[in-house]
Amino acid sequence: MDFREGLTFDDVLLVPKRSPIVSRSQTDLRTKLSRNISLNIPLISANMDTVTESHMAIALAREGGIGIIHRFMTIEDQVDEVLKVKRSESVVIEQPYTVKANTTVAELYKHMAEYGVSGLLVEDGGKLAGIITRRDITFEKNMKRKVSELMTRQVITAKAGTTIEQAKEILHKHRIEKLPLVDDKGRIAGLITSKDILKMDEYPHAAKDRKGRLLVGAAVGVKGDYLERTEALLEAGADTIVVDIAHGHSENALNTVHMIKKAFPSCDLIAGNVATGDGARDLIKAGVDAVKVGVGSGSICITRVVTGSGVPQLTAVIDAVKAAKEFDIPVISDGGIRTSGDLTKALAAGASSAMIGSMFGGTDESPGKTLVKNGKKYKMYRGMASYMASLGRKYRQEGPEVVDSDDLNDYVPEGVEAMVPYKGSVVEIVRQLAGGLRSGLSYCGAKSIPEMQRNAEFVRITGAGFIESQPHDVDVM
């Protein structure tokens, strides 16, 4: 039997090249997420229940990347997470949140908290009846009072189709923060807010769709309600659907991709995970627009330990990219990224973007509460094939009586649960990764990711070379 050598990020270094780069600001991190979607930075937050919900997706998209909302919730809840991202900022909010005139103050507070907004349009039969903001109810003690008693009735409006520049003039002239758009019959047609306009200036590199809304993806499984879930997510505005399965080179995954593409031909579809050129090629032939690569490379994944299967991540990416190039389909490197150097190597090997899990876990934007242990803050981080995650899925899908009757030895986890240190905002991590990548491009003599991929030259290093690469012979402060 012939044994092929497999390498991962710590096994290699990129050879420095003559560089025309004077400043890192000259580099361009734009890349392809999939066949049809572009990003301004090559970073994706993993579709894990301890990593990505709407808060993470919003933060990533504002920086130029994209978040993939995990699937371990009801369809309605996942749709709601997608809508939160889409409504977080926009050129024009096409379907603004509204309340009825007979809504009570108590109900209004609940809606504001749920939607994360400070003001709501009041509608009556689809027509604009007024507007109610937090300042209208700040000192209101009677929680049973109706919105109709407190709302502003004389609302400054604009016609549907109003441009941003026109909206700026109206907002400034009347010193208002919200500008409802109405049609000729007075029906609500949209909303423009000063907050969203300011965000356009604050986050100039945000990844947005054609309507000016932040990009967001959502994951689906390969069993049960995946078609129903896909339809609901696409209707909510999800820009891409990710078929989420540990072993993407399987009939389950290939059939799911085929069925989704058949039902929704225009759906931008990503699938994985695979670790070989054949796996990438078969997914592409089934209809995907991007291939996710990585089996067993994640920090909390024990697939290689449990099953003995996997391919070191750098080799897996190189093999998948070679196959995907035949079809001009982007490859996503998923797993094993611990530093900006790892990110640079993954992209230099041909990946168009990288999915990040553990580095983004433990941040303010990741789901879950902060815990304190021995005076230090932590957050939960777990693999989606871990014991508790698998048991939780079984419980939600089949009910407690089924789980209770099952032999717990039937569950063979391929992931673990862990506590990761609290890290603050994910924005700082994203900017550190992007900054390191820009430096990596300059060392490769490249101004863009595609140019780096053309220029890249890897050299294999020994264990001594790896030690030499780390801080050594000093006491690190």
Catalytic residues: 301, 393, 396
The reply, when asked if residue 145 is annotated as ligand binding, is: no
Helical (H) or strand (E) element with 166: helix 164-174
Q: Is 414 one of the annotated binding-site residues?
A: yes
- Give the number of other Cβ atoms within 10 Å of residue 100's Cβ: 14
Is residue 81 within 8 A of residue 54, CB to CB? The reply is yes
Q: Is 245 annotated as a binding residue?
A: yes
Element (H, E) at 131: strand 127-133
User: Is residue 298 part of an annotated ligand binding site?
Assistant: yes
The answer on whether 385 is annotated among ligand-binding residues is yes
Is 383 one of the annotated binding-site residues? yes
Tokens (6 digits) for 167: 């909206």
AA identity, residue 281: R
Widest Cα–Cα separation across the chain: 82
267 known member of a binding site: no
Q: Is 244 part of any known ligand binding site?
A: yes
Q: Is 232 annotated as a binding residue?
A: no
Was 357 annotated as part of a binding site? yes
Cα(229)–Cα(235) distance, integer angstroms: 10
**How far is residue 329's CA from residue 322's CA, in Å, rounded to a whole number?**
10
Torsion angle of alpha carbons 451, 457, 460, 461, nearest 10°? -80
Q: Are 466 and 10 in contact (CB under 8 A)?
A: yes
Give phi and psi for 475, each to the nearest 5. Answer: -95, 105
Q: Tally the residues of the chain.
A: 477
| 194 marked among binding-site residues | no
Residue with tokens 């209208």: 136
**Cα 192 to Cα 182: distance, rounded to the nearest angstrom:** 11
- Dist CA 311 CA 296 (whole Å): 8
**Residue 468 annotated as part of some ligand binding site:** yes
Would the annotation count 126 as a binding residue?
Answer: no
381 is in an annotated binding site: yes
Determine if residue 94 is labeled as part of a ligand binding site.
no
Output the CA torsion sign for 41, 46, 47, 50: negative
Residues belonging to the binding site are 244-246, 294-296, 298-299, 301, 334-336, 357-358, 381-385, 414, 468-469
Residues belonging to the binding site for K(+) are 296, 298, 301, 468-469
Residues belonging to the binding site for NAD(+) are 244-246, 294-296
Residues belonging to the binding site for IMP are 299, 334-336, 357-358, 381-385, 414
